[in-house]
């Protein structure tokens, strides 16, 4: 990883959220154009919201940062029903779904842990 100028760039959860967002953009690039303004756009925005809220929240107070991390976690949760719908429409195979689902679970847990550490301190 390049030299980090901003503190949030060194956070593992931030780095993993960038990887996740890239994976979502790559995945949805293959989806039919008829889903562009529905599922594709919504999933991309939810995924992108995760690192964006981590970054923005890091510039605030600990209490505010904890709130932004909660928003990021909510964006993780938002991805799940979209992925369920995509799977039911045969846009997403089971193996890919499981891989992405596991990434979301990991991100949500990491966000919760980071949030908890901020609240305790």
Q: What pLDDT shows up at residue 2?
A: 59
d(CA 11, CA 38): 31
Cα four-point dihedral sign 9, 13, 19, 25: negative
Per-residue pLDDT band at 4 (split at 50, 70, 90): low
Kindly tell me if the per-residue pLDDT of 101 is higher than 60. yes
> Which of 116, 94, 110 has its CA nearest to residue 51?
110
DSSP characters over 23-77: HHHHHHHTS-GGGIIIIIHHHHHHHHHHHHHHHHHTTS-HHHHHHHHHHHHHHHH
pLDDT in tens, 49-86: 999 999 999 999 999 999 999 999 999 999 999 999 99
pLDDT, tens digit, for every residue of 27-47? 999 898 987 788 999 999 999
Query: Where do the domains of the chain lie?
Result: 11-120
CB atoms within 10 A of CB 107: 24
What fold, for 11-120?
Answer: de novo design (two linked rop proteins) (1.20.1440)
Is 104 within 8 Å of 6 (Cβ atoms)? no
Q: What is the pLDDT of residue 121?
A: 65
Q: Look at residue 3 in the predicted model and tell me its pLDDT.
A: 67
């Amino acid at each position: 990883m390049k030299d980090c100028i901003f503190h949030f760039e060194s956070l593992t959860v931030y780095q993993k959220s960038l990887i996740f967002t890239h994976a979502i953009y790559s995945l949805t690039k293959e989806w039919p154009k008829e889903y562009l303004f529905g599922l594709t756009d919504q999933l991309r925005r939810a995924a992108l919201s995760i690192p964006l809220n981590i970054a923005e929240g890091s510039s605030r107070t600990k209490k505010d940062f904890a709130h932004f991390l909660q928003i990021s976690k909510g964006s993780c949760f938002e991805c799940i029903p979209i992925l369920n719908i995509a799977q039911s429409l045969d846009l997403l195979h089971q193996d890919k779904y499981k891989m992405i689902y596991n990434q979301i679970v990991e991100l949500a847990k990491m966000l919760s842990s980071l949030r908890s550490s901020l609240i305790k301190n």
